[in-house]
Amino acid sequence: MQLRHLRGLLAAEPALRHSKSHEKSHDKSHDKSAEEHAVRARRVRAVVERLARVERAPLTIAETTVSVRDGLHRERLLLESSVRSSFHGTLLAPTDAAPTAPPGPAVLVLGGKNARLDQLTGDVPPDHPDRNVAEQLAHAGFVTLSFDHGIGGALDAGRRAGRDEGTLLAHAFALTGRSLLGALTGDALGALDVLTAHPLVDPRRVGLFGHSLGAAVALHTALLCGREGVPLCAASHVGSYQALYERLLTGHEGAVLPGILEYADLPDLYGALAPAPLQLQYGTADSYLEPADARAAADTVREAYAAAGAEAEVHGLPMGHGTHVGHAADFFTRTLAEPAARGPQVPAQRIHFEVSERRAVLDRVDAALASGILTQGPQVARFEELARPWTGADAAAVASGSAALEIALRVIGVAGRTVLVPVNTFFATAAAAVRAGAAVRFVDIELDGLGMDPDALRAALDRHPDTAAVLPVHIGGIVAPSLDALLAQCEQRGIPVVEDAAHAFGATLDRRPAGGFGRFGAFSFFPTKVAISGEGGLLSAASAADLEQVRRWRDHGKSAPGSTLHDRPGGNWRLSELHAAVGTVDLERFSRTLAARRALAARYDALLADVPGVRPHTVPAAAGSNYYKYLAYLHPDAPLDRPLLKKRLRKRHGVSLAGEVYDHLLCDHPQFASQRRQDAADGPFHRARWFARHHIALPLYPSLTEADQLRVVAALRSELP
What are the sequence ranges of the domains in the chain? 2-16+26-335, 392-575, 591-719
Asked if residues 440 and 421 have their Cβ atoms less than 8 Å apart, the reply is yes
392-575 and 591-719, same CATH topology: no
Q: Is the pLDDT of residue 679 over 80?
A: no
Q: Provide the pairing of β-strand 537-541 with 395-398.
A: antiparallel
CATH of segment(s) 591-719:
3.90.1150.10
Provide the pLDDT for residue 21: 43
pTM check: above 0.95 = no
Q: pLDDT by residue (tens digit) across 71-106? A: 999 999 999 988 888 899 999 999 876 556 689 999
| Closest alpha carbon to 228 in 304, 340, 303, 143 | 340
Task: Report helix, strand or coil for 205.
Answer: strand
Provide the pLDDT for residue 370: 96
Taking domain 2-16+26-335, whether its CATH number is 3.40.50.1820 is answered by yes
Q: Is the pLDDT of residue 190 over 50?
A: yes
Q: pLDDT by residue (tens digit) across 399-433? A: 999 999 999 999 999 999 999 999 999 999 999 99
The percent of residues in the chain predicted with pLDDT above 90, rounded, is 78
Q: Is the pLDDT of residue 64 over 90?
A: yes
Instruction: Kindly report the CATH class assigned to 392-575.
Output: alpha beta
Percent composition of the chain: helix, strand, coil (DSSP 3-state, to 5): 45, 20, 40
Q: pLDDT by residue (tens digit) across 529-562? A: 999 999 999 999 999 999 999 999 999 989 888 8
Angle (deg, nearest 10), helices 706-719 and 590-607? 40
DSSP code per residue over 473-512: B-GGG---TTHHHHHHHHHHHT--BEEE-TT-TT-EETTE
* Stronger pLDDT, 69 or 680, i.e. the higher one: 69
Q: What is the mean pLDDT of residues 250-261?
A: 92
Q: What is the mean pLDDT of residues 573-600?
A: 98
